[in-house]
Amino acid sequence: MLNKYAIIEFISNGKFGNVFKGKNRHTGELVAIKMDVLLDNCSVQSQSSNSPLITYKDKSSTVIPRTPTFVPYSGVFAPSNVKYETRILNYLYNKKCKNIPLIYWYGLYKDAPALVMPYYEISVYELYSRNIQNSSKYHHSITHPIMDSNSIMQSVLKIVADIHDSGVVHRDIKPHNFMIKNQEVFLIDFGMATFYVDDKFRHIKEATQPKEHLMGTRKYISFNVHSGKEYSRRDDLISLGYLYLFLQNQLFWDRTFIVDDQDLRPNVSNIYPETHILHPQNQCVKQAKELSTIEKCLTANYTTTAEPIYQYLRYVYALDFSETPNYYLLRKHFA
């Protein structure tokens, strides 16, 4: 990897990997480099330095991990990593899915799997953040006009429909994972994605036992997930509805009073971990995501965009576990 790509700076770390900003040494193109573990024993130097940006030798392999026709659904979510995400991206690329990251390079970097893909300057979340104009990080680099929220919704629905048609659900839909480049929207971070079909493309059966722990980001996980139900296509779409509420500054539970541990009866908050569906904070957000509650809030804060999103949410909330959504109808709400 060092022969072609150089690491410039650390961007972020998460549950399933660490992301760095890099560049192609030959073309100067900026790239994103995702690794399973945080680099240590290395020195990241200034971009203008003439010395190597990373001083140790890497063990390189450009072979993309073998992608089977399908990864059989096991019913148990295995911890994700860069290798797993690369397999998912490679599978979707072979299925002609658009607006997902291309794999520029995959291999071992200091004995850890590393993935090189396009670098996207800004996310939908950053673009719509109210404080973005005051952010020194983007003040001089942003050239993107604020895209119309309906246009964004149509774009993200098309992307999600494509990956669903390929048998995959993303499971971490949020504005942070939709990136914008040249006025085009891309979906990233497939570390929690999985197949909702078996190797014969039959929809998996819904689990009989409820899930006890949440998966994804609390603000954007669907009401069904809060209720302990198995994840399916409907939940990606419900999360997209919450994303639209964010774009309209109508994500009500973002401003909902959530009980603090000190306000609870002694030790109540310690009964369940923060990821448990019965944790008080999760129960509070779940109540705010009740369709009836959303309807009341939209009515109280009525705007010209309230009716389309309510019709959208009413449809996706009513979907059965294995029901195929009508993506065309959903996109028409935002035409």
The Cα–Cα gap between 62 and 105 comes to 6
As a 3-state breakdown, the chain gives helix, strand, coil percent values, each rounded to 5, of 30, 15, 50
172 counts as catalytic: yes
> What tokens appear for 265 in the block?
């009866």
Within 10 angstroms of residue 335's Cβ, the number of other Cβ atoms is 8
> What tokens appear for 237 in the block?
């779409």
How does strand 168-169 pair with strand 112-118? unpaired
Nearest by Cα to 307 from 148, 159, 130, 150: 150
The Cα–Cα gap between 239 and 157 comes to 11
The Cα–Cα gap between 267 and 196 comes to 38
The Cα–Cα gap between 282 and 201 comes to 34
Q: Is 213 helix (H, G, I), strand (E, B) or coil?
A: strand
Options 172, 189, 235, 236, the catalytic residue: 172
Q: Which residue has the tokens 């104009």?
A: 133
Nearest by Cα to 106 from 206, 55, 35, 168: 35
Q: What is the DSSP string of 74-118?
A: -SSPPPP-HHHHHHHHHHHHHTT--SS----EEEEETTEEEEEEE
Q: What is the DSSP string of 258-312?
A: ---GGGSSTTGGGSS-TTBTTSHHHHHHHHHT-HHHHHHHHHHT--TTHHHHHHH
Q: What is the DSSP string of 118-154?
A: E--SEEHHHHH-TTGGG-TTTTTT--PPPPPHHHHHH
Catalytically active residues are 172
